[in-house]
Amino acid sequence: MTTFGARYVAAIEARGPLCAGIDPHSSLLTEWGLDDNVAGLERFALAAVEGLAPHVALIKPQSAFYERFGSRGIAVLERVIQESRAAGALVLLDVKRGDIGSTTQAYADAYLDPASPLASDAITASPYLGFGSLEPMIQTARKHDAGLFVLALTSNKEGPEVQHATTDSGETVAAHMLAHLALLNRDAEPLGSFGAVVGATIGEGPWDFEFNGPILAPGFGAQGGTVEDIRRIFGRAVSAVAPSSSRELLRLGPDTAAMGAAARRLNDELRALQAG
């Protein structure tokens, strides 16, 4: 298997940069006319896979919306992962795990080891117990040619409390995280496998996103992020960016054709941005 970074570049070249989130909010199940139970979850999630996975580079299920139904919800998540990959999409499992030592290793084994039924191409992770706390995930990702997307600059209003704080050296915590990623991705071709999560609606800042790794930009679409925001925020690093949209696409369901058409339209807009 090639590295995650190489698969990421190839998937974006083949399908466009859009990442489609499959987040079964209770309110979305209701909009689709489904009950907020495991049966409704399964119908929603698998219809979303059918409509979106053949048309996008990445599918991003948010694990919490499946976990809330217990073991039967996790079983649905397993099918979402398997069927999305079978449709040719990379799966970025949004779990945002962050712990230390053997617990971090256990999370890595759960989500990145191919022997696990939840094995995905990449996961999101929180570095705010110290970037070094992610080392078991980093080593497991390397071992299995998987990827890791580290929270760096998020769009939530509470984020700057930590991310914009400064270290003893005077750089921001977020910049420090990006510098760690640059070291991990050094000399990787065509792109490293260790990425950042950067909100598509963040404000201006002295950020350097040229760290030779993939960038997940949630908040694109219904949450307010636009093509122009992607251009403004990422500049010369825009070719590494996968803008992520969920509600804008999922609200078109249960019409799978409409979801697929919307995904293709957004990909066309984003391709034009990257070409320009």
Burial of 209 (C-beta count, 10 Å sphere; 0-12/13-18/19+): buried
Alpha-carbon Rg for the chain in angstroms: 18
Dihedral, CA atoms, 132, 124, 100, 81, nearest 10 degrees?
A: -140
CA atoms within 13 A on the CB side of 232: 12
Catalytic-role residue among 60, 96, 143, 157: 96
The DSSP code for 238 is G
Tell me the CA distances in angstroms from 79 to 47, 87, 109, 128, 251, one per residue in order: 12, 12, 18, 31, 21
The DSSP code for 133 is G
Q: Quote the tokens at residue 40.
A: 């409704």
The SS3 call for residue 140 is helix
Find out whether 186 and 211 touch, Cβ atoms under 8 Å: no
Cα–Cα distance measured from residue 8 to residue 172, given in angstroms and rounded to the nearest whole number:
28
60 is catalytic: no
CA 108, 112, 116, 120 torsion: positive or negative?
positive
Please state the separation of Cα 171 from the chain's center in Å.
26
Q: Which amino acids are annotated catalytic?
A: 96
